[in-house]
Amino acid sequence: MGNQIVVPSLGESILEATVARWFKKPGESVRVGEPVVELETEKVNLEVGAEQAGVLVRILHPEGEDVKVGEVLGEIGEASQATATPQPPSQPEADKPSGSGPSEQVQTAAAGTGQPVPKDQEPAAQEVKPSDDQITPVARRMIQEMDLPAEEIQGSGPGGRIQRQDIERYLQDTQTGSAKPDLSISVEAQKSEKPAHAQAGAQRPEERVRLSRRRRTIAERLVQAQHSAAMLTTFNDLDMTAVMDIRQKRKEAFKTKYGIGLGIVSFFVKASILALKEFPRLNAEIQGDEMVLKKFYDIGIAVAADEGLIVPVIRDADRLSFVDIEKKIQDFVQKAKDNTFSLEDLAGGTFSITNGGVFGSLLSTPILNYPQVGILGLHRIETRPVAVQGEVIIRPMMYLALSYDHRIVDGKEAVQFLGRIKEAVEHPEILLIEG
């Protein structure tokens, strides 16, 4: 037996993945350590490499299929062993219809007479429900979730196997009211023969795009946070004058010395840690009937990526300098562009910060990164008139939002926590003295 390519351990609480793409085809040679297949998980994409040199002899799970940890994806062996991707057994010859063309009537012998019976008088054949090996795992899950009749869905895969696109086509046909497709008509012909009302422009154009595993997980987690926590948001605004002055004075020297820019998020990381030490329930989580107060500060920083928002974690942020924090954030931004996050980057976290201001957001209510109980939302800085000591002056202002789990964090505590962050950012010397 050749060397098996197995779904590796995927990290904390991740048990399933989706085969994103195969880099090799059966019969192609592979080197030791060379990536053979890419798996898409709810957090990151992983490349699985070859543990021995040889030839990819077979693929057991094609692209788009869901797999679990420990499942065999394929096999590497000698060139003589190479075969095409195994497919479900085709229909036995005995079960195949006779050679009559589509335009001819199928005739059968009437019982006891030997006379042919016209097709329109022939008893209707019973529809047979496809077996599990005739449905891909993704399609099977869709059928179960939407309670669809599998026997009515025509499979376009090898051997009539039902695939995801067959489900989507069936749903589209059902929604448009079209009749059950004739098995003798090709898939391409079905797509081209639109109903008259669709050709006349009555049907609006639309596109169906499969949600990636990561996007599905993001959706599940956000809904979980809404259903599991008593979420509430409190707001404040703060004067960014002091921080803007520091950046203006020090940004060139900072970049020259450390090779990175001085942003504003590092100030809020420092201020959040200061406030978390004074209000420890914001750095906790609920487990059963217990409240777990965490004595370490792993701060999640929301970063926009192609597949959706990702929250990598700055570990032990209370021990890091402004420079260290800025380097971590810059590293996260680059990894988001390159799609090179590791599971270690994304695991855990005790409190999160999200900056919608980089996209121009004036105000928002962030959703908790469950099971965390607090998340700080930053927004765009805009100059506006404010009253200071009886005078109206123009200042760079920002709205802050703190979403929290009201089950363990009281409103008074949340307001005071946000006020402490406001104070520390408006007077950055506090971060030097008390931080």
CATH of the domain at 223: 3.30.559.10
Which range of residues forms the domain containing residue 29? 3-81
Q: Is residue 193 part of a domain?
A: yes
Q: Which of 415, 382, 435 is nearest to 239 (CA)?
A: 382
Share of the chain above pLDDT 90, in %: 43
Q: Which pLDDT does position 371 carry in this prediction? A: 93
Cβ neighbourhood burial of 7 (10 Å; 0-12, 13-18, 19+) = buried
Residue 98, both tokens: 């006779």
Q: Which pLDDT does position 339 carry in this prediction? A: 82
Query: Is residue 205 located within the same domain as residue 219?
Result: no
Query: Is residue 206 located within the same domain as residue 256?
Result: no
What is the DSSP secondary structure assignment for residue 385, as one 8-state letter?
E
Which phi and psi angles does 93 have, rounded to 5°? -55, -35
DSSP, collapsed to helix, strand or coil, labels residue 361 as: coil
Query: Is residue 299 located within the same domain as residue 325?
Result: yes
* Peptide bond connecting 371 to the previous residue in cis, omega within 30 degrees of 0: yes
Region for residue 420 given its phi and psi (left: phi exceeds 0; alpha: psi -120 to 50; beta: otherwise): alpha
Residue 260, both tokens: 């990175």
Q: Is residue 355 part of a domain?
A: yes
Over residues 111-135, mean pLDDT:
55
Active-site annotation holder among 132, 133, 306, 406: 406
Cβ atoms within 10 Å of 228's Cβ, excluding its own:
14
**Is the pLDDT confidence value at 429 over 90?**
yes
Measured between alpha carbons, how far is 402 from 422 in angstroms, rounded to an integer? 12
What is the DSSP secondary structure assignment for residue 24, as one 8-state letter?
S
Q: Is residue 166 part of a domain?
A: yes
pLDDT in tens, 248-294: 999 999 999 999 999 999 999 999 999 999 999 999 999 999 999 99
**Is the pLDDT confidence value at 372 over 90?**
yes
DSSP, collapsed to helix, strand or coil, labels residue 267 as: helix
Domain final residue pick, 161, 193, 210: 210
Highest mean pLDDT among 119-128, 141-150, 169-178, 313-322: 313-322
Residue 334, both tokens: 């680059």
Q: Is residue 112 part of a domain?
A: no
Measured between alpha carbons, how far is 388 from 403 in angstroms, rounded to an integer? 28
Q: How confident is the model at residue 2 (pLDDT cuts 50, 70, 90)?
A: low
**Is the pLDDT confidence value at 427 over 90?**
yes
Q: Which pLDDT does position 181 carry in this prediction? A: 45
Query: Is residue 188 located within the same domain as residue 312?
Result: no
Query: Is residue 234 located within the same domain as residue 255?
Result: yes
Measured between alpha carbons, how far is 54 from 183 in angstroms, rounded to an integer? 42
Note whether 106 and 99 are within 8 A (CB).
no
Active-site annotation holder among 132, 316, 410, 427: 410
Q: How confident is the model at residue 176 (pLDDT cuts 50, 70, 90)?
A: low
Measured between alpha carbons, how far is 193 from 208 in angstroms, rounded to an integer? 19
Domain final residue pick, 168, 191, 210: 210
Find the helix packing angle between 265-278 and 411-426, rounded to 10°.
140
Q: Which pLDDT does position 182 carry in this prediction? A: 46
79 or 1, which is more confident: 79
Least confident of 34-38, 137-141, 424-428: 137-141
Active-site annotation holds for 379: no
Q: Which pLDDT does position 210 carry in this prediction? A: 80
pTM: predicted TM-score of the whole model, two decimal places: 0.61
Q: Is residue 91 part of a domain?
A: no
Q: How confident is the model at residue 209 (pLDDT cuts 50, 70, 90)?
A: confident
Measured between alpha carbons, how far is 335 from 323 in angstroms, rounded to an integer? 18
Domain final residue pick, 19, 48, 81: 81
Q: Is residue 370 part of a domain?
A: yes
Measured between alpha carbons, how far is 382 from 429 in angstroms, rounded to an integer? 23
401 or 205, which is more confident: 401
pLDDT in tens, 218-234: 788 788 888 889 999 99
Note whether 349 and 299 are within 8 A (CB).
yes
Residue 352, both tokens: 């999160």
Identify any residues that bridge with 85 across adjacent strands, giving them in sequence order.
none
- CA count, 13 A, side-chain hemisphere, 269: 26
Q: Alpha-carbon Rg of the chain, whole angstroms? A: 30
**Is the pLDDT confidence value at 142 over 90?**
no
Q: Is residue 106 part of a domain?
A: no
Query: Is residue 345 located within the same domain as residue 330?
Result: yes
Query: Is residue 204 located within the same domain as residue 241?
Result: no
7 or 241, which is more confident: 241
Cβ atoms within 10 Å of 157's Cβ, excluding its own:
18
Least confident of 44-58, 169-183, 221-235: 169-183
Query: Is residue 371 located within the same domain as residue 266?
Result: yes
Average predicted confidence (pLDDT) for the chain? 82
Measured between alpha carbons, how far is 61 from 164 in angstroms, rounded to an integer? 14
Cβ atoms within 10 Å of 170's Cβ, excluding its own:
22
Which phi and psi angles does 287 have, rounded to 5°? -125, 105
DSSP, collapsed to helix, strand or coil, labels residue 172 as: helix
Q: Is residue 89 part of a domain?
A: no
123 or 146, which is more confident: 146
Query: Is residue 239 located within the same domain as residue 179?
Result: no
**Is the pLDDT confidence value at 349 over 50?**
yes
Query: Is residue 405 located within the same domain as residue 305?
Result: yes
Query: Is residue 202 located within the same domain as residue 270?
Result: no
Query: Is residue 255 located within the same domain as residue 386?
Result: yes
Which phi and psi angles does 37 have, rounded to 5°? -145, 150
Q: Which of 233, 244, 259, 217 is nearest to 411 (CA)?
A: 233
Note whether 284 and 298 are within 8 A (CB).
no
Q: Which pLDDT does position 105 carry in this prediction? A: 42
Which phi and psi angles does 46 have, rounded to 5°? -120, 135
Measured between alpha carbons, how far is 225 from 231 in angstroms, rounded to an integer? 8
Note whether 263 and 358 are within 8 A (CB).
no
Q: Which pLDDT does position 81 carry in this prediction? A: 58
CATH of the domain at 73: 2.40.50.100
If one counts the domains in the chain, the total is: 3
Note whether 224 and 399 are within 8 A (CB).
no
DSSP, collapsed to helix, strand or coil, labels residue 173 as: helix
Active-site annotation holds for 410: yes
Q: Which pLDDT does position 255 carry in this prediction? A: 93
